[in-house]
Amino acid sequence: MALFVAGLAASFLLQATLALNPEDPNVCSHWESYAVTVQESYAHPFDQIYYTRCTDILNWFKCTRHRISYKTAYRRGLRTMYRRRSQCCPGYYENGDFCIRCDSDHWGPHCSNRCQCQNGALCNPITGACVCAAGFRGWRCEELCAPGTHGKGCQLPCQCRHGASCDPRTGECLCAPGYTGVYCEELCPPGSHGAHCELRCPCQNGGTCHHITGECACPPGWTGAVCAQPCPPGTFGQNCSQDCPCHHGGQCDHVTGQCHCTAGYMGDRCQEECPFGTFGFQCSQRCDCHNRGQCSPSTGACECEPGYKGPRCQERLCPEGLHGPGCLLPCPCDPENTISCHPVTGACTCQPGWSGHHCNESCPAGYYGDGCQLPCTCQNGADCHSVTGSCTCAPGFMGEVCAVPCAAGTYGPNCSSVCSCNNGGTCSPVDGSCTCREGWQGVDCTLPCPSGTWGLNCNESCACAHGAACSPSDGSCTCTPGWLGDTCELPCPDGTFGLNCSERCDCSHADGCDPVTGHCCCLAGWTGNPSALPLPRS
């Protein structure tokens, strides 16, 4: 079969040779020798024998001689001839009239050499040298690019990060487990990890998983491989590494460490017993133990004083009115004001507002309430109720603790009375009594000072002379006509008269004028007013 194909190709080649177009750019030519058979003449040598005379006696003095002679002969010969021969250039093969480039698997003259290149490399159709595809190197392109390089001729540096390998052909980054992104520059997104970030994160309760290993980092308060377990009792926080601070059996929040106290305790570390009189969870319940019974802060159970019994210690061991060993002694307490008489000691527990061994003394001033222990808050002389401590204000004050003086115009208890002082008199907030302005007197300041007096309480005497009026408020004098001065003690100066001496006398032939009326004091012989006329002659 192969022989047959080869034979066919050979004969085909022979035919095509004749038809190649010398103008074809892929046709090459060379000189070729060839032999032709020719008939050629030549000088054919042959041995010619002849005889000469000689001294050879034995042969009768005749010697045989040889000589080379030539005659024309003919023979077949091969002659080498030369001719230009066309054929496809190396890297091309003949196909009909054309030279076609070698296919990628062949090279050389007639494309008869098989390519050695691997991994998709092209081979130079003329030389057979390999032109490697991106990602390969070596003379047969048999080797991948060195790590860290890629591309044609392995010339490009890989850009992948975090230990990623890079595809030698494309440069594509093949991320190491735990990384993602075009350049593997990112950690796996939350909730995933591992190769291609394809593994699901198993961490619960907000734990975050390591981007490579998937190992869980638990949030405060959680532990275990997948953070599913709360911190063991007595610990809390990050890695459950903190010790709970709660005392008295308080439980601590496994996340924050905040204490949840058991009944009977409070405080941020449950370090405090419930305040007196309270018990239970968060100390939110009120104790109900009587007669000084002690109340358990956790259960509220009452532990009674000697002499009492019952769940709330409200039962006396002695009958009412008796105390002491054998309950033989009478109680000394005033029954009106007493809550109880101690059955053992006979000590009296007084009603609020009462004190003393016998509960027959009301609270001392300034105290009130249970055992008269509470200080009164009432001010300004107010009374304090011995039981409730409420204030009864002194006159002139008001308010819860009697700190507010009465407003102007009011007075008395509760400031409930209205003042009745007139003419600018002020009123005492206590009893409403009036303090009159200067010039006024009387209970409600309605009476002006009697004439001749002035000032506060009309207690000053007027000093105005010559019938002048005196101001009741300041004692100043209003002079009558003809007088002048602070106390009107000066007569008008000559030539003036009237109120304030402000008028001028208008007299001729006169010795001045009357300071009050201005009537001229005519000289003898003159009359008239003004005295301009001579007296009529008599």
CA distances from 447 to 182, 450, 470, 471 (A): 110, 8, 16, 14
Q: Token pair for residue 87?
A: 């054929």
- Asked if 388 interacts with ligand NAG (CB under 6 A), we say no
Q: Compare residues 170 and 500 and give the one whose CB is closer to ligand NAG.
A: 500
Candidate list 17, 95, 170, 416; residue touching ligand NAG; CB under 6 A: 416
Stretch that binds ligand NAG, among 192-200, 235-243, 250-258, 377-385 (CB under 6 A): 235-243
- Asked if 239 interacts with ligand NAG (CB under 6 A), we say yes
Q: Compare residues 258 and 480 and give the one whose CB is closer to ligand NAG.
A: 480
Q: Which residues contact residue 228 at a Cβ distance below 8 angstroms, ignoring those fewer than 6 apart?
A: 204, 205, 222
Q: Output the smallest distance, CB 519 to ligand NAG, in A.
A: 19
Q: Output the smallest distance, CB 439 to ligand NAG, in A.
A: 14
Stretch that binds ligand NAG, among 26-34, 323-331, 418-426, 498-506 (CB under 6 A): 498-506
- Asked if 241 interacts with ligand NAG (CB under 6 A), we say yes
Q: Output the smallest distance, CB 251 to ligand NAG, in A.
A: 22
- Asked if 362 interacts with ligand NAG (CB under 6 A), we say no
- Asked if 255 interacts with ligand NAG (CB under 6 A), we say no
Q: Output the smallest distance, CB 158 to ligand NAG, in A.
A: 33
Question: Which strand (E) or helix (H) includes residue 325?
Answer: none
- Sequential DSSP letters for 98-115: EEEEPPTTEESGGG-EEP
Q: Compare residues 156 and 465 and give the one whose CB is closer to ligand NAG.
A: 465
Candidate list 118, 204, 360, 377; residue touching ligand NAG; CB under 6 A: 360
**Helix, strand or coil, per DSSP, at residue 359:** coil
Q: Compare residues 205 and 296 and give the one whose CB is closer to ligand NAG.
A: 205
What are 442-445's contacts with CB under 8 Å, separation 24+? 444/420, 445/421
Tell me how many residues contact ligand NAG (CB under 6 A).
14
Candidate list 245, 405, 413, 448; residue touching ligand NAG; CB under 6 A: 413
Give the separation between CA 230 and CA 224, rounded to whole angstroms. 8
248 phi-psi bin (left φ>0, alpha ψ -120 to 50, beta other): left
Q: Compare residues 225 and 535 and give the one whose CB is closer to ligand NAG.
A: 225
Give the separation between CA 294 and CA 273, rounded to whole angstroms. 13
Q: Compare residues 409 and 413 and give the one whose CB is closer to ligand NAG.
A: 413
Q: Give me the count of residues in the chain.
A: 538
- Asked if 414 interacts with ligand NAG (CB under 6 A), we say yes
Give the separation between CA 65 and CA 483, rounded to whole angstroms. 221
Query: Residue 59 has what DSSP assignment?
Result: T
Give the separation between CA 433 and CA 421, rounded to whole angstroms. 8
Candidate list 256, 459, 508, 517; residue touching ligand NAG; CB under 6 A: 459
- Asked if 457 interacts with ligand NAG (CB under 6 A), we say yes
Q: Output the smallest distance, CB 373 to ligand NAG, in A.
A: 19
Could you give phi then psi for residue 30, rounded to 5 degrees?
Answer: -155, 170
Q: Compare residues 149 and 340 and give the one whose CB is closer to ligand NAG.
A: 340
Q: Compare residues 278 and 410 and give the one whose CB is closer to ligand NAG.
A: 410
How buried is 306 (Cβ within 10 angstroms: 0-12 exposed, 13-18 middle, 19+ buried)?
exposed
Cα 461 from chain centre: 84
Interface residues with ligand NAG (CB under 6 A) are: 238-239, 241, 358, 360-361, 413-414, 416, 457, 459, 499-500, 502
